[in-house]
Structure 1
C-alpha cells in the first residue's frame, strides 16, 4: 500500500509539472516547445521532456533523473530537456529550491539578446533576492558551460537572464516558480518601455533596503487550511 501511495503521489507531481508547462504558455511567458520545468522529487528530479509540444505532453513522458549523478542518465520513454544540466545544478546546490522554470518570454529575451541585466528600476525586483537581475554571459544551450554560468548569475538570486537565450527562475514549488516567471517578464517589459523614454530613475540602496524590510513575508501566499 505504501508503494502504491508513493506512485500515486509521483503521478500527481508529474501531472502538476505538465500542467505548469501548459500554464507557461497560457500566461504568455513561453511559446511553442521552448522552455522547460523541473521539480524536486525526493533524491530525484522530474523534468519536462525534450521537444514535445505541451498540448501533447503526458505525465508518463516526464523524465526522472537522479540528483546524485550528473552523467545525464534518465528513466522514462522520452529524453529529458536539453537544459537538464542547469536544472540539475540548481536543485543540487540550492536545497531551498523545489522547482526551476526556464522560458523564452519576449521582453526577458529581448533584454538577454542585448546582454542587459535589469537594474533596480522597480521595487518588485527585491522579490528575486537581490538588487538586480543579472544576465549570465552567453554559452551554447544544453552545455555544462551554460549551467555553470547560470548558477553563477543566480547566486543570491531567484532569477537570471541568459544572454541571447531567455530566463530562469527558481521557486520553492511549481506555483511560486510560475508566479516569479510572470513577475520577471512584467519587470522586463516595464524596464524595456522605460528605456524608450530615456531610461528609469533607479532606486537607491536605502530605498531598496526599506522595500526589502517591508517585503518580509510578502509574496505568493499559501492557501490557508480551514
Structure 2
C-alpha cells in the first residue's frame, strides 16, 4: 500500500488526480473529490474549487474525526465518506469520487452493474454494487457507501455518482475508469434487450485469473 504524507508531493498528487478526472471525462465543474490516507488522517480536496484552479496549497489535511489543521480551507462536504472508508478498509490508501456520466445515469436509475462483462471483477466481486440513497455529505450516505463497499472496491451511489478505492491513487483512478466503462457497456445493452449475465462459476474463474494477471494487480 502506498504511504502518503502531509507534504507537498502528496498534495500535488491529489491535485493531479482531480485534473485527471476532468481530462478522462469522469468529472466536470466542482463536483467530485479525491483523498489519500496519511499517517494521522487524510489529505482531501477542498469544497467549491474547480480542478483548473486547484493547487497543492489548497489541499486540506484533517483527521478522520473531522478536525482540520489550522489555516486551511474547508474540506469537501463528502469528507465523512472518505474518512469512514479509511476506517473500515485498512488496506485502502486512496479514494476517488466522481460523477462520471454513465455511472451516474445508472445510479439515477438505481441499477447496480451485474456480471455482464468479465471486467466488473476489477472491483473485486461478481458485479459493481449500488449504495442506497442518502443526502450528499451526510453520515447516512457514508454508512450506505460502506455497506456497498463491504465486498467491493467500488460502487455506485444512488442518484449521485460513483466511488472507487485503491492501494494508491493510480489504482483508484484506474478503477474509476473501469467502472465508467462498464456502466457505459451496461447502459448500451439495456437499450437492446439487456445483457447475458455470466454465472457465478464463470466469474469465480475470472477473479482467480485476475490475481495473477499482470496489469490487473495493484502495485504500490
1:74 is matched with 68
1:15 to 2:12 alignment: yes
Would you identify which runs of 4 or more consecutive aligned residues in structure 1 move more than 6 Å? none
- The 3-state SS of whatever aligns with 2:74 is coil
1:126 to 2:114 alignment: no
- In the alignment, is the contact (CA less than 8 A) between 2:81 and 2:145 conserved in 1? yes
Distance, in Å, in 2 between the alignment partners of 1:155 and 1:221 is 19
1:35 to 2:32 alignment: yes
What's the CA shift for 1:86? Answer: 0.6
- Structure with larger RCO (C-alpha < 8 A, sep 6+): 2
1:194 is matched with 189
TM-score, with length taken from structure 1: 0.91
Question: What is the Cα-based RMSD across aligned positions, in Å?
Answer: 1.6
Task: Map residues 81-160 of structure 1 onto 2, 5 A cutoff.
Answer: 81-160=76-155
The runs of 5 or more residues in structure 1 that have no matched partner are 1-5
Task: Map residues 200-215 of structure 1 onto 2, 5 A cutoff.
Answer: 200-215=195-210
- The 3-state SS of whatever aligns with 1:50 is coil
Asked which structure has the greater CA Rg, the reply is: 1
1:59 is matched with 56
Distance, in Å, in 1 between the alignment partners of 2:199 and 2:84 is 33
Distance, in Å, in 1 between the alignment partners of 2:23 and 2:80 is 26
The runs of 5 or more residues in structure 2 that have no matched partner are none
Distance, in Å, in 2 between the alignment partners of 1:91 and 1:146 is 15
- The 3-state SS of whatever aligns with 1:55 is helix
Distance, in Å, in 2 between the alignment partners of 1:221 and 1:85 is 25
Number of aligned positions between the proteins: 214
Deviation string, structure 1 residues 25-71 (Cα, Å, up to 9, x no partner):
0011111111000101112100000010111111111111113xx2x
Distance, in Å, in 2 between the alignment partners of 1:38 and 1:47 is 4
What's the CA shift for 1:220? Answer: 5.4
Once the two structures are overlaid, the 10-residue window that deviates more, 213-222 or 10-19, is 213-222
What's the CA shift for 1:217? Answer: 3.0
Once the two structures are overlaid, the 10-residue window that deviates more, 23-32 or 73-82, is 73-82
What's the CA shift for 1:221? Answer: 6.0
TM-score, with length taken from structure 2: 0.93
